[in-house]
Amino acid sequence: MSAIVLDEHRILGFESVDRLKELKANYKYKKGDKPVSKWFQKFYNIIVPLIFCAILGLILFFILGAVLFFLPPKYPLAATIFLISIVAILLIRNAHFNESWKNSILVKNAKGNYEFRFRKKSAIEAKRKKMAIDYVDRDGDGKVTFEEILIVVGEEITEDEEEKLRLKFERLDADKDGFVNAEDALKAFNQESIICKVCSKEFEPDMGTREFEFEICGETEDCKNKLWKLGKT
């Protein structure tokens, strides 16, 4: 019996390591993320929508009861159950059958909260990225100035933090015209480090370099060869 339990722990351990590697290589990984097991994620995708629907159902029942006060309580209750059932089905169906959500990984972040991480090329991630770029690039010209960056960051930052942002901006502004590509700026200012696409190692490249552009660290032979091949294309 103990041998069976030990083998099970080994399997779960290997699954956790493989899942972490997959998360770092193909998903929007953030430092401190710890992926949960596939079974826990399936459980989470059912229980959380049900809890949400239960709370929403109580609120909806009281609202319908107040609006339909002239009818017996069974009618607002029936309407609530019907509407909440539809919401619950849609939420659970989305979590298990929508391609982007189905291929996501549930993680416990550095703060101890649960969050979903989506594939780098997923439709949801692409939409979020576009929304973020549109928010930073207020005039929609595809470029941002340092002033636009400061507006997004807010006035709460210290002088030291502003100076660090300025240095990042200046390093990204290769031709020194005061403008940088909005997508590159978003990547640079939102991410302290990058996960290498080849070896999955976390590193901090200099902006404007090939390592930054291709998200490859260049520290191993495989990484160097990949950078060399991409540099020739």
- Domains, the chain: 2-117 (no CATH), 125-190 (1.10.238.10), 193-233 (no CATH)
CA-based nearest residue to 120, from 27, 188, 185: 27
| Between 233 and 172, residue with greater pLDDT | 172
Q: Which residue has the higher pLDDT, 21 or 100?
A: 21
Average pLDDT over residues 164-182: 75
Mean pLDDT of the residues in the chain:
75
pTM: 0.43
Task: Give me the pLDDT at residue 9, please.
Answer: 38
pLDDT exceeds 80 at position 3: no
